[in-house]
Homo-oligomer: A and B are copies of this chain.
Amino acid sequence: MSEKKNQELRRAGLKITAPRLKILHILENTAAGHMSAEDIYKTLLSEGDDVGLATVYRVLSQFETAGLVVRHGFDENHAVYELETGDHHDHLVCQDCRKIIEFVDESIEVRQAEIARKHDFKMTSHCLYIYGICGSCQTDLPA
């Protein structure tokens, strides 16, 4: 059943272990889409799994190196991770509820490449974060 996950790990050159499978599973099933190491650790604990926080960090780091997950620094104080799905996208971040919405805008992508070229930069990656207040939080705000 989780044969797919086993393959993903093997492909990444990592042994199949319980912590790795569980973390992969959590990342695949999170509603939030983006989780911090601490979030994942708490989820594991709440599911009765005995995994150390250090292991969570180690596994996430290995996953990142293997290209299974992408790490983001929306928040200065802690990193969040999401599964690498192959499609690049940028993020809208609600500063109130921390909700994250992904989007892709081709014209921005094109302009970025032009800007890098104009400045003689060989672009390796880029990230665009738009911070704001999402619709539901605007509604919830005190009048």
List residues of A whose CB falls within 8 A of some B CB: 73, 76, 79, 92, 94-95, 101, 103, 105, 107-108, 111-112, 115-116, 119-135, 138
CA distance A21 to B92 in the complex (A): 37
In the assembled complex, the Cα of A132 lies from the Cα of B126 at a distance in Å of 8
Q: What are 15 contact pairs spanning A and B, CB under 8 A?
A: A73-B73, A92-B119, A92-B121, A101-B119, A108-B111, A108-B112, A119-B134, A120-B134, A121-B130, A122-B133, A124-B131, A124-B132, A125-B132, A126-B129, A126-B131
Q: Assuming A107-B107, A111-B107, A115-B103, is B128 touching A126 (CB within 8 A)?
A: yes
Copies of the protein in its oligomer? 2
